[in-house]
Chains A and B, each alone.
Chain A
Amino acid sequence: DVKVTQSSRYLVKRTGEKVFLECVQDMDHENMFWYRQDPGLGLRLIYFSYDVKMKEKGDIPEGYSVSREKKERFSLILESASTNQTSMYLCASSFRARGRQEYFGPGTRLTVT
């Protein structure tokens, strides 16, 4: 079974802190994704990576950066956390081939106070 793991299920941080969210997948997937999920707004793509060291901005990249130094690991970084970044963060991965599904981690509920 494909496994996508996220470093924390729940995280509480203070405004202005630098926050790291880690995601690891064990299926040798080329693509990895970071989404945030907010009530009434569905899933919004923050960043996407299609290979090691490669990244593309998604729909809402402002205030975030990412790092992919190894194929299996994709990190989301909040440079200076703000209260409007309180949200559920979901990591996903997939093969690059056509028709591929995305495999999701369990999510990290981040609260910024």
Chain B
Amino acid sequence: GDSVTQMEGPVTLSEEAFLTINCTYTATGYPSLFWYVQYPGEGLQLLLKATKADDKGSNKGFEATYRKETTSFHLEKGSVQVSDSAVYFCALSDPTNAGKSTFGDGTTLTVKP
């Protein structure tokens, strides 16, 4: 079945540091890939997505590139802010899986001033 493996946390960085959160996946079809973010006390919201190989998703300074050859979708940001502190989830949506998404376990990011 489908699976998503993402970097274990928690991750603690200083403000303006570079962020990478690794994400790899297995899927039977050709999935769409997503990063969701969950701020404290809230539900998940979409951060960025990519629907086919070599697509780059970007939003709010975050980027991730759909790499089919390495089955990866790593999240990066060049300079993190305190307001980026949240839980980040990598996910895939496989059209052969009846409309359901598969989520990674989430990575907690804390950014210190």
Report A-chain residues with C-beta under 8 Å of the C-beta of B46. 101-103
Q: Does B51 touch A at the CB level, under 8 Å?
A: yes
- In the complex, how many residue pairs between chain A and chain B have their CB atoms under 8 Å apart? 60
| Chain A positions 25-75 with a Cβ under 8 Å from a chain B Cβ | 30-31, 33, 40-43, 45, 48, 50, 56, 58
Bound-state Cα–Cα, A88 to B105, Å: 15
CB-contact partner of B100 in A4, A58, A98, A104, under 8 A: A58
Q: By the criterion CB–CB under 8 Å, are B51 and A99 in contact?
A: yes
Number of interface residues of B (CB under 8 A): 23
Q: By the criterion CB–CB under 8 Å, are B104 and A101 in contact?
A: no
| Chain B positions 86-113 with a Cβ under 8 Å from a chain A Cβ | 89, 91, 93, 95, 98-101, 103-106
Q: By the criterion CB–CB under 8 Å, are B43 and A45 in contact?
A: no
Greatest chain B CB density within 10 A among A40, A42, A101 is at: A101
| Chain B positions 9-30 with a Cβ under 8 Å from a chain A Cβ | none
Could you jot down 24 A-B contacts, CB within 8 Å?
A33-B100, A41-B105, A42-B89, A43-B89, A43-B106, A45-B100, A50-B99, A90-B43, A92-B44, A96-B99, A98-B51, A98-B93, A98-B95, A99-B49, A99-B93, A101-B34, A101-B46, A101-B93, A102-B44, A102-B101, A104-B36, A104-B44, A104-B45, A106-B43
Known pairs A101-B34, A107-B43; list 12 more (Cβ under 8 Å): A48-B99, A56-B98, A58-B100, A98-B32, A98-B93, A98-B95, A99-B51, A101-B46, A104-B36, A104-B44, A104-B45, A106-B42
Question: Top 9 nearest A-B pairs by Cβ distance?
Answer: A104-B43, A42-B105, A99-B51, A99-B32, A104-B44, A43-B103, A101-B46, A106-B43, A98-B95
